Amino acid sequence: MTVTNTPDVLSECTADVAMTLMLMVARRAGEGEREVREGRWTGWRPTHLVGTKVSGKTLGIIGYGRIGQEVAKRAHHGFGMRVVIQNRSRVAQEVLAQCSATQVDTVEDLLPRCDFVSLHCPGGAANRHLINSRRLDLMKEDAFLINTARGEVIDEWALTQALMFNTIGGAALDVFDGEPCIAPDLMQCGNLVMLPHLGSATREAREAMGFRVLDNLADFFAGRDPRDRVI
């Protein structure tokens, strides 16, 4: 059996969605959009839907592969954010230097330091519920959690509790555990932004993914080892 994937071609678009989610949850854009569509907006007022500034804050990135690095570029160079990263292996100093990033050893070291935490680690059994109630308790009470990695990385029951009791500032998810089914309790959290797995959903990324598949098929049927072989 031969299995291939489509690396590289979706990194930028997924990073764009991570930044979209970060801005949406910080500035309460989802709440505002619902209010306007439902006819509940009564006009400008000084304390209405006051959110959180993103520029200049500290961003924690868990998983510093292709997508994590693209998020760091956008956050640091575009929004002046300080970047703290946790990765399962040491990241080369020259890579960290591109965004003046600081690497810490553990998730526990990262979480208390950050205003925003963005997940870009692999899914699977090893990282299932990487973000659990104990680790959510380490986050600042006004910090935000963003997930464009895999749904199973977060214990969604624990996240629901953190959101409902306001022990963190909010969360924004593009992926869910068991999607497309979404835990009903999550749907009740007003301080949660949800997107339907749109990370690679641009015309450019999806076309590039398709052509990458064709390249791997061409390699396979020509007797060559596919360039993106994982198994």
Please tell me which residue in 150, 152, 156, 212 is annotated as part of the active site: 150
- To the query of whether residue 156 is one of the catalytic residues in this protein, the response is no
* Other beta carbons within 10 Å of 61: 30
- Catalytic residue, chosen from 27, 179, 206, 229, is 179
Note if 150 is an active site residue. yes
59: enclosing H helix or E strand? strand 58-62
Burial of 50 (0-12, 13-18, 19+ CB in 10 A): exposed
Provide CB contacts within 8 A for 155, sequence distance 6+: 129, 131, 132, 133
Catalytic residue flag (residue 28): no
**SS3 call for 205:** helix
Q: What is the DSSP string of 43-58?
A: ---TTTT-----TT-E
Given 27, 76, 128, 197, the catalytic residue: 197
How many CB atoms sit inside 10 A of residue 154's CB?
Answer: 26
Cis peptide before 180 (omega within 30 of 0): yes
Give the residue numbers annotated as catalytic, written as ranges: 150, 179, 197
